[in-house]
Amino acid sequence: MGRKRLSDYGLQLAEKQKAKKFYGLQEKQFRLTFTKASKKVGDAGKNFLRALEMRLDNVVYRLGWATSRAQARQLVNHGHFTVNGRKADIASFNVKLGQVLKIKKSSLSNRYFKNLGERMKKADRPSWLNFDATDLSSKVLHEPKDTDLPQNLNVQVIIEYYSK
């Protein structure tokens, strides 16, 4: 006897849960991001994924400054980064085009950031983020393109889930 086929609702819920786990977000944060993205002009699914990718904690992870999104969130919450010279300690902060992210000078002496130079050489950064190794800063060049967005998430199913 095999397993019962999942209903449409079950498939939608599973995909939403997969995306939430992928980005490490709680339901409220995930839903708020979806609501804001769906109000923008254009493809709601792509807007949603772009909004998730442009969160400060995700950008720190994508740059290779953290080994996981959870670690990136903690580093951001502890205030180790600046955006355009101002302290940024809110993980859900939306990074915008042209903004420059840096590790605070006082944080560079932290043991976590000691061997950052070695890790940064191995890091696989997306094309929409430019990294400057001389002053350990990064600049957001453009919004993530379709190819930069995670391909393993079926965002259309998530949209259907929230559209009920």
Count CA atoms within 13 Å of residue 73 on its CB side. Answer: 8
What is the arrangement of strands in the sheet containing 137-140, beginning at the earlier edge strand? Answer: 86-88, 81-83, 100-103, 137-140, 129-132
Please report which confidence band the pLDDT of residue 118 belongs to, taking 50, 70 and 90 as the band edges.
confident
At residue 25, does pLDDT exceed 90? yes
Task: Note whether 59 and 76 are within 8 A (CB).
Answer: no
Kindly provide the b/e burial profile for residues 54-64, where b requires at least 16 CB atoms within 10 angstroms of the residue's own CB: bbbbbbbbbbb
What global pTM score does this model have?
A: 0.91
Q: Which candidate, 114, 141, 146, 111, places its Cα nearest to that of 128?
A: 141
Task: Note whether 59 and 129 are within 8 A (CB).
Answer: yes
What span, in angstroms and rounded, lies between the C-alpha atoms of 93 and 67? 19
32-65 per-position pLDDT tens digit: 999 999 999 999 999 999 999 999 999 999 998 9
Return the domain boundaries, the chain.
Answer: 8-162
87-113 per-position pLDDT tens digit: 999 999 999 999 999 999 888 888 888
Q: Which candidate, 67, 163, 160, places its Cα nearest to that of 116?
A: 67
Mean pLDDT check: name the lowest of 5-9, 93-97, 115-119, 134-138: 115-119
CATH topology of domain 8-162: 3.10.290
Taking the chain, what is the end-to-end CA distance rounded to the nearest angstrom?
33
- Strand 81-83 to strand 100-103: parallel, antiparallel, or no bridges (unpaired)? antiparallel
The DSSP letter of residue 4 is P
At residue 1, does pLDDT exceed 70? no
